[in-house]
Structure 1
Amino acid sequence: MECTYSNEASSAQQYVAAESNGQLNFIQAGWMINMNLFGDARTWTFASWKGAKGAGCYNTQCKGFVQVAKDNPLSEPMEITDDSIIRFTIHQDKTSGNWWITQMFKDSSVSDMGYWPKELFNLIGDGAQMVGFSGMVSAPPNTPSPPMGNGNRPKYDDPYHSGFFNNLQIMGNDYSLDRADMFPLKRLVDSDQCYGLDYAGHDNPNVGVYSKYGGPRRKSMRCLGLHLIIRFPKFP
C-alpha cells in the first residue's frame, strides 16, 4: 500500500480517550504513511496525544512524552512484509497515574517504550472514557482518498486479505485483561462505499477478538475513516 501524493496520509491506530464539555483528551499509537510528517513514503510507527488546553503533538515534536527504552524509539520506519504486525498496549500506571506505551514482539518479549505524564491531561486522570481501533486517511480537496490498510477490502472467508486488528483486549484498573467482545462495540464508518470494516468477534486464542478493515484508493469519493469504539458505563 502506498500514498502517491506528498500531502496525503493513511494510518491505523488504537487509542484511549475521554471527552467532556467540548474538550478532548486522547493518546493513540499505530502505523502511518505521511510524507509531510516523516519526509518519505515509508510506513512508520507513530503515536500522538492531546491533553489539557488543547496541547499535544505527534511523536516527540513537543514536550510531553518521556522516552525510556534506549533501543526502541516511539517512532521509526517499519519493515513491511506480508505478515507485518505491530502490537502496542496503552495503559495507565495505577501508582503514578502516568500513561505508558508498551510494544509486544512476536517472540513474546515486551518493551516499555516510555510514558506521558498524567499532568498533561485533564480528562483521563482516572482511566479512559473510551477505547477505539481505527483506520484514517486524509487528502487535499478534489484529490482521491488514498488506500487504507493494505489496500484491499475485507473478505468474509479470508481474515488476512485486508488489514486487520487482532487480539483486541481491554485492561482494567487491576491490570486484568478482558476480551473486547465483553463490552458493547460501536461501528462507525463515514461510508461503506469508501472502505470496509468487518467486526469478526472472537476466532481462536491466537487471533482473539479481531476486525478486518481497509480498501483501495477511492477516485470519486471523499473518504475519512472508520472506527470500532468501546464506551465504558461509568461515564455518561
Structure 2
Amino acid sequence: MDMKRYSGLRTNHRNEAFVSGYQQRRTRRRQRQCIQENHHHHVASQQTTSPPNHSLKLASSSSQNTSLPLFLPAFIAFLLLLSFISPVLSHSSPTNQTFRPGPELLKLRRIRALLNKINKPSIKTIQSTDGDLIDCVLSHQQPAFDHPELKGKKPLDPPERPKGHKDNGEEVIESFQLWSDSGETCPEGTVPIRRTTEQDILRASSVRRFGRKPRRVRRDSTGSGHEHAVVFVNGDQYYGAKAGINVWTPKVTDEYEFSLSQIWVIAGSFGHDLNTVEAGWQVSPELYGDNYPRFFTYWTTDAYQATGCYNLLCSGFVQTNNRIAIGAAISPRSAYNGRQFDIGLMVWKDPKHGHWWLEFGPGLLVGYWPAYLFSHLRSHASMVQFGGEIVNSRSRGYHTGTQMGSGHFAGEGFRKAAYFRNLQVVDWDNNLLPLTNIHQLADHPNCYDITQGHNNVWGTYFYYGGPGRNIRCP
C-alpha cells in the first residue's frame, strides 16, 4: 500500500460539506507534501536498501490520523513484520555477491559428476549378499569406451593363448564371486560392473584420488608406508606372467590401509615413467567399505601419479566377460588349517594387437588393457613380480597390525601360510616358461616374510605373509 493510496483514504473519510476552502487548500498542500515525501523517501530507500526505515515512517505518519479504518492497525503490523523479514530474505537473493556455495556443496557436485561418469546405464541389476549392486552394462558402453581411442569401437575377440597353457590343477568351481551365488547372471553382450556409490567416494582421501593407489615409487619401499614380501625376475624381456594365488581374508586395522596379493607386470624406471599392469585380490576398507577379499585390476603409466585406476573406475581396462565382476568379493576363501582355495591368474601380451590380456580361473578371459594406454609396456615388460603388499600408516604411532596373506609367517607352511604356486612367465614367442634367476625381497621380514621352493606338482612356489605388529615388529 503506497503513500498515494493511503493519502486518498484519509481524505475520503472526511465530510467535504463541512470543510472550508481554507481547509481544502491546506489538505491539498498536505497531500502534495506527503506525495513528495513519499517520492523522496522511495528514491532514498532504493539507494540505501533500508526497508525498515520506510515502514517506520508509514507508521509514524498514520498516527496523525484519528479516523482510520479498523483494518489499518492490522495492516501496519503486517508491514512492521515484513520490515524485519526483508533483511533476511535479501541474504538469499541471487544478486547478493557475498553468497558462495560452501566447500561441501562443491564436493558433492564433483562426486555426483564422477558417479554419472562411472556408473553407466544398465539393462539389469543384481543384488549381492554382501550389499553390492552389480549392473549389467552393454559391452560398448562400459567406461573404457569413453576414451577417444575407443569411441565407436567394440571389444576385441579373444587372442591366442600362450603355448604350454593349462590349468595346472586349479580346482574348477562354477561360482567365484558372492554376487553370482544366487544363480543370477548378466546377459550375453553385457559386462557385470560393481556400482560405485556416493559413500565409496566419500571414503577416499579426496575425490580426485578416488580409485587410485596412494602415490609411491619403489624398489625398496622402506619408509614409504608400503611393505612387500615378493619374488621377482628382471633383466630380460617379458610378455606375460601366470600363477595360482591362494585367497585369504587378512585383517586390515586402519581404514586407509589395505592388504593385497597380486602379479605386477612392469616396464620403465622406478621414476615418473613407470608402467604397470596388475591383478590379484585385495582387502581395502577405503575402496570397498568392508573386509572381503576382492578381485581387482590396476594400471598406471606414470608411477601412480595421475594415470590409471583400480578396476573400471576410469577409462582404461576393457572387460569382455559377463561372468566376472571386477571389484566384487571372491568366494570361497581359505581357512586356517582347513580347506584351501586359490585362483589362477594370467596376464599376457597379444602377439597380434599388442594389448595386455587377463585370464581368471580356468580359462575365463576377463578383458584387456589396450596397448595405447602405455609407453614402455607398448613393447614389453622388463620385470615381473609376484607377492603381497600392505600399507603401514602407523596411525597409532607404531607398526600396523594389518595382516598380509593369511596373517601367518611363511614358515608355518601349507594350510596356515598363504602361497603362490606354478609361477611362470611368457617369452617373446608366446611361450609359458618357468622362472629363472629369481630374486626374493621382504621389506620388513620381522613383520612379513617369504620362503620360496620348487617341486614337481607346484613348480616354482613360495609361502609369504605375516601378522604385522608383534614382539619383533614394534
State which of 285, 293, 297 in structure 2 corresponds to 1:35: 285
Counterparts in 2 of 1:30-109, with a 5 A limit? 30-51=280-301, 54-79=306-331, 80-82=333-335, 83-105=340-362
Cα distance between partner residues in 1 of 2:288 and 2:307: 21
Higher strand share: 1
- Give TM-score scaled by structure 1 length: 0.84
CA deviation after TM superposition for structure 1 residue 21, in Å: 7.8
- 1:48–1:59 CA contact under 8 A, matched in 2: yes
| Residues 60-91 of structure 1: CA deviation (Å, up to 9, x unaligned) | 11101101001112221012133120111011
Shift in alpha-carbon separation, 1:81–1:186, aligned structure 2, 3 A: closer
Answering whether residue 373 of structure 2 is matched by residue 117 of structure 1, we say no
- 1:15–1:90 CA contact under 8 A, matched in 2: no
- Give TM-score scaled by structure 2 length: 0.43
Cα distance between partner residues in 2 of 1:215 and 1:6: 19
Does 1 or 2 have the higher relative contact order (CA < 8 Å, sep 6+)? Answer: 1
- 1:7–1:139 CA contact under 8 A, matched in 2: no
**Letter aligned with residue 28 of structure 1:** E
Answering whether residue 469 of structure 2 is matched by residue 218 of structure 1, we say yes
- Aligned twin of 2:382: 129
Cα distance between partner residues in 2 of 1:95 and 1:139: 42
CA deviation after TM superposition for structure 1 residue 111, in Å: 0.7
Cα distance between partner residues in 2 of 1:222 and 1:120: 40
- 2:447–2:470 CA contact under 8 A, matched in 1: no
- Aligned twin of 1:174: 429
Shift >3 Å, 4+ stretches = 219-223
**Letter aligned with residue 70 of structure 1:** N
**Letter aligned with residue 177 of structure 1:** L
Shift in alpha-carbon separation, 1:221–1:68, aligned structure 2, 3 A: farther
- Aligned twin of 1:150: 406
Cα distance between partner residues in 2 of 1:72 and 1:8: 25
Shift in alpha-carbon separation, 1:217–1:192, aligned structure 2, 3 A: closer
| Residues 22-56 of structure 1: CA deviation (Å, up to 9, x unaligned) | 31000111110001011211111111000268511
CA deviation after TM superposition for structure 1 residue 150, in Å: 0.5
Cα distance between partner residues in 2 of 1:120 and 1:193: 38
Moved more, 67-76 or 163-172: 67-76
**Letter aligned with residue 251 of structure 2:** E
SS at match of 1:36: helix
- 1:167–1:209 CA contact under 8 A, matched in 2: yes
Shift in alpha-carbon separation, 1:21–1:58, aligned structure 2, 3 A: closer
- 2:267–2:376 CA contact under 8 A, matched in 1: yes
- Aligned twin of 2:260: 11
Cα distance between partner residues in 1 of 2:334 and 2:449: 22
- 1:42–1:78 CA contact under 8 A, matched in 2: yes
Cα distance between partner residues in 2 of 1:21 and 1:65: 22
- 1:100–1:116 CA contact under 8 A, matched in 2: yes
Q: Kindly, what percent of the aligned residue pairs are identical?
A: 30
- Aligned twin of 1:231: none
SS at match of 1:96: coil
- 1:166–1:211 CA contact under 8 A, matched in 2: yes
Higher helix share: 2
Alignment coverage as a number of residue pairs: 214
CA deviation after TM superposition for structure 1 residue 162, in Å: 0.5
Shift in alpha-carbon separation, 1:21–1:169, aligned structure 2, 3 A: closer
Instruction: Flag the structure with larger Rg.
Output: 2
**Letter aligned with residue 215 of structure 1:** G
**Please, which runs of 5 or more residues in structure 2 have no aligned partner?**
1-249
- Aligned twin of 1:208: 459
- Aligned twin of 1:234: none
CA root-mean-square deviation: 2.0
